A = this chain, B = another copy of it.
């Protein structure tokens, strides 16, 4: 099977494939019937519960995964930009179905590589295996952090947790920084937390009135980190 240029480029930048030497990757995939699919903005790539036996790699575009018991009530799990695998942490499960709804939110392209090919690659290439393990372990961490946010019951608590996490991330680079840029607006954050938008705004206002944080445009400044921490502790 001929591999298109753009897919090759995507794969060399994919966090789990980049360990495989370029030629080796080409050789492996050349002999393999991997599938390619394209999706328009708004199309559903996979439904929650669908079975799969392939490693899915998003080679182009952006997807959003969300969880919903049926219609209605949905909360966003993750937004994934190409090139990256998705649902890879579930590939080797006994009953490996998509745990989330996967929606294309831009012109997207995915390729699908059969499970057994992946296993073969693991044997031929220890680095690939390690990257796969690391990528999935990071995903598991992400899931468990998400779990943590949902575990916190009060909206103020969720906000505090979120802000402390974001601030910690920023402080790794600039240790004394006490403000950061919000990556999500309130509407998105409310979906992420699984709460209503006005309720989120209300709690945000309370934190501001209490002098714990300040917010201007999409920049949040932490004024009293101890109080912020105590909100979590006091839960």
Q: How many copies does the complex hold?
A: 2
Alpha-carbon distance A70/B226, docked complex (angstroms): 13
Cβ-closest chain B residue relative to A72: B235
Do B143 and A70 touch across chains, with their CB atoms under 8 A apart? no
Do A70 and B144 touch across chains, with their CB atoms under 8 A apart? no
Name 15 A/B residue pairs within 8 A (Cβ), A-sorted: A67-B151, A69-B152, A69-B161, A72-B234, A73-B152, A73-B153, A89-B137, A90-B144, A94-B138, A96-B141, A100-B144, A136-B140, A143-B143, A143-B144, A147-B150
Q: A218 at interface (Cβ–Cβ under 8 A)? A: no
Do B71 and A141 touch across chains, with their CB atoms under 8 A apart? no
Alpha-carbon distance A151/B233, docked complex (angstroms): 23
Identify which of B67, B69, B146 contacts A233 (C-beta below 8 A): B69
Do A93 and B138 touch across chains, with their CB atoms under 8 A apart? yes
Alpha-carbon distance A144/B150, docked complex (angstroms): 12
Q: A181 at interface (Cβ–Cβ under 8 A)? A: no
